[in-house]
Structure 1
C-alpha cells in the first residue's frame, strides 16, 4: 500500500550555504567586471590601461577571494555549530 504522507525533501545545502554562495558569485563577477576593458580602438596604438592596478592586482585578488568564499560555502555546516553549543 502507498502512504499518503508527504515526503520531506532534504537539500544538500541549507539557506546559509546558498547565501554564502551568492556572495561569492557576486565577488567573482565584480572581479571579472573590474578586469574587463582597456582595449584600444586603433590596433596600432598601445593602451597603457591594460597594466593598471585595477586590472593587474585588484581584480584577480577579488576573484581569488570569491573562490575562497565559494569553498567556504560548500564546506560550511550550520548544523555543526548548533550541536557544539
Structure 2
C-alpha cells in the first residue's frame, strides 16, 4: 500500500489538461487564418497602385480573426481544469 502511494506522489502533473490544449489549437488556427487572410493585394509593378489592398477582408475581417484568436488563447490559458477530489 505504501509503494502505491509513493508512485502516486511522484507522478508529474501537467498544468493544462486536454481541454486547454484543444482551445489553444483552435486559437492558433484563428490567428493563422487571420494572417493568411491579410496576405495578397499587392501589385507586380511598383508604379501601379492596386486598391485591392484596402478591401474589407484585409482591413476588417483578418485583424478581427487574429484578435479573436488571441482572446481564445487567453481563455484557454485561464480555463480551470476540472476539479477532482483526491483522497
- Aligning the two structures, in what range does the TM-score lie when normalised by the shorter sequence? 0.7 to 0.9
Q: What pairs up with 1:1-85 in 2 under 5 angstroms?
A: 5=7, 7-80=10-83
Give the TM-score, by structure 1 length: 0.85
Unaligned runs of 5+ in 1: none
Output the aligned Cα RMSD: 2.1
Matched positions, count: 80
Unaligned runs of 5+ in 2: none
Larger Rg over CA atoms: 2
Q: Tell me the SS of whatever aligns to 2:49.
A: coil
Deviations 1:53-76 (A, max 9, x none): 000000000000000000000000
C-alpha separation in 2, matches of 1:5 and 1:79: 22
Shift >6 Å, 4+ stretches: none
Deviations 1:1-35 (A, max 9, x none): xx894731111100000000000000000000000
Give the TM-score, by structure 2 length: 0.83
